[in-house]
Structure 1
């Protein structure tokens, strides 16, 4: 977001405003002021102080903006009646530049409508009082130009700030994407290392024996294959204790499916650790006689983090052996591990 030194801008505004007050008092050397002139100077000084008074918000409040416009209307009405529109008044027309400066400050503080209202009145008043030519000779056009430049600068600064915010958001998104990619690569390396640790011994034995394996070794290979599949599909549902319990269940002949659908991706490490401890407790509590266990994460908006289902295969078990989700299978155990509770509900 684009920022600029507000104290410096306030100081510049104060210097320009003070300059008009000095011009007003210089004009009083040739023509003594009347009460209306002094009231005009006092109003202008008070309005400038209020307009430049630092506050928490850059945008001027609506009542103050209306007050600034009222001052811009009052200054010509107070000073001009004592001047001769056909003569060279010198510094006595100080109020014209003063109104332009005050309205520029109002516009810079995000109240362009109030600023243009004051400038339009100055143009109309000067045209009626001294004629259209006086708009150039008395500096009214310069005041209008300063207000216009101020509004253009505000518009451009707003556009630049919006673009900067868009770029900042894009940079944050890119940083998040890079972090996610790095985390993905890191997790991939961890999974590969775990897979190597699981399968390397058996692969060496296969290579050393020339692929001549005993029935027990073939059975062990199938268990290792299932463990490798868990590392791919189980992701955040696995720790050392869960792996041990899943392997023990498979050694007993139980078909175990561990499926992480991403429901734990946004949980903290502490919460994930609690869920895994509850999962290990749930797996350890499933009774013998269960033919199939399914461990699966719930959706991210579900109050449950993980669901553990123990199924007893009906009939001769052929459907379960083929991986079918036969509706005749009996649910022997159902455990839901909640996201916000310390104990699972069963």
Structure 2
């Protein structure tokens, strides 16, 4: 989108307003008394400077718009009162003495551009009524009032069009961001599904081929291996970010010695960077490998606190109960570990947590 520098617009408006002031000064000899036109020139200059101040916001303050409206009401009254003695249809209506007509149109155009359209319409409407009462309807063309009305109309139309275009551009930009985020999320999910599927295939395909080759007739060791593979596949679904190769190896080793291992990822570590997450998972793998608990539960902390993963290891007094995946009232805590998010404290927390749990 091509934009015009604000300084250029302000400079052109200042030059045009200064031209009206020059015409007013040049025609000071025409009015009956120069005092009221001088006051009008002063008020117009002050209102123009305040309206074109470079650091002012785009939307004109309400008090400033009312001040500009008051100036536009005062200009015809101050200057026109000194021209009443002459015939309006004679030199004054078409000469420089009616400089205030273009001045009012310029000032109200500035007001309309700065998003005070209602005030601009009121100001230009007063100019039209004053001209009709003072010099008749025919003077609307001869004195340039129609031109001032056209300026304000164009300013209002352009201002509304630009505001609408700005809103549409913001909506399109927001929709584009949302579409990009949605596409990125879908691609991430697709990539994760592909990774999980590839890993599952690597785990299950050899056993599935063996099952097909033996027509479903498996030994007890092979059936137990299928149970391990089923648990590993379940980990890929429920564990998600809790898994890396060391964790997988440690979990499989724990299951082969008869432990019941449960991994639950509730989304609490999705925002952790890959390098830090890998260190945290290595701490988890070490904790699972070091404990001799019969039941091990590792889950992420979803409250966004300082802890990333909690690990609980229970030792059952009745091995048959543990094998069924049940908790006995006589279960003892063999491991209680909270792995923090910060890598600097992870190793210390692991040692302290493990030793405290065993104690």
Return the alpha-carbon distance in structure 2 between the equivalents of residues 326 and 175 of structure 1. Answer: 51
Trace 1:247-286 onto structure 2 (pairs within 5 A).
Answer: 247-286=252-291
Q: Does residue 338 of structure 2 align to residue 336 of structure 1?
A: yes
- Report what 2:75 is aligned to: 75
CA RMSD across the alignment: 3.5
C-alpha contact 1:2 1:157 (8 A) present in aligned 2: no
- Report what 2:357 is aligned to: none
Q: Structure 1 residue 234: deviation in Å?
A: 1.2
Q: Structure 1 residue 13: deviation in Å?
A: 2.6
Q: Structure 1 residue 164: deviation in Å?
A: 2.0
C-alpha contact 2:31 2:83 (8 A) present in aligned 1: no
Q: Does residue 331 of structure 2 align to residue 317 of structure 1?
A: no
Q: Structure 1 residue 235: deviation in Å?
A: 1.1
Cα 1:75–1:6 change in 2 (3 A) is same
Q: When the two structures are superposed, what TM-score results if normalisation uses the length of structure 2?
A: 0.78
Return the alpha-carbon distance in structure 2 between the equivalents of residues 220 and 285 of structure 1. Answer: 23
* Unpaired stretches in structure 2, ≥5 consecutive residues: 354-359
Cα 1:12–1:266 change in 2 (3 A) is same
Trace 1:4-153 onto structure 2 (pairs within 5 A).
Answer: 4-21=4-21, 23-24=23-24, 27=27, 34-55=34-55, 57-61=57-61, 64-84=64-84, 86-88=87-89, 89=92, 90-91=94-95, 92-112=97-117, 114-116=119-121, 118-119=123-124, 121-122=126-127, 125-126=130-131, 129-130=134-135, 138-140=143-145, 142-144=147-149, 146-153=151-158
- Report what 1:175 is aligned to: 180
Q: Structure 1 residue 178: deviation in Å?
A: 0.7
Cα 1:325–1:174 change in 2 (3 A) is farther
Deviation sequence 1:97-138 (CA, Å, 0-9, x none) = 211211110221234455455445545655664567756664
- Report what 2:248 is aligned to: 243
Deviation sequence 1:263-304 (CA, Å, 0-9, x none) = 222332234223313322332342x2x221111122254543
- Report what 1:225 is aligned to: 230
Cα 1:313–1:4 change in 2 (3 A) is farther
Q: Structure 1 residue 313: deviation in Å?
A: 3.4
SS state of the match for residue 297, structure 2? strand
SS state of the match for residue 71, structure 1? helix
Q: Does residue 305 of structure 2 align to residue 298 of structure 1?
A: no
Cα 1:118–1:285 change in 2 (3 A) is farther
C-alpha contact 1:262 1:300 (8 A) present in aligned 2: no
C-alpha contact 1:304 1:337 (8 A) present in aligned 2: yes
Cα 1:33–1:324 change in 2 (3 A) is farther
Cα 1:326–1:15 change in 2 (3 A) is farther
Return the alpha-carbon distance in structure 1 between the equivalents of residues 141 and 332 of structure 2. Answer: 96
Return the alpha-carbon distance in structure 2 between the equivalents of residues 32 and 128 of structure 1. Answer: 20
The alignment covers a number of residue pairs equal to: 343
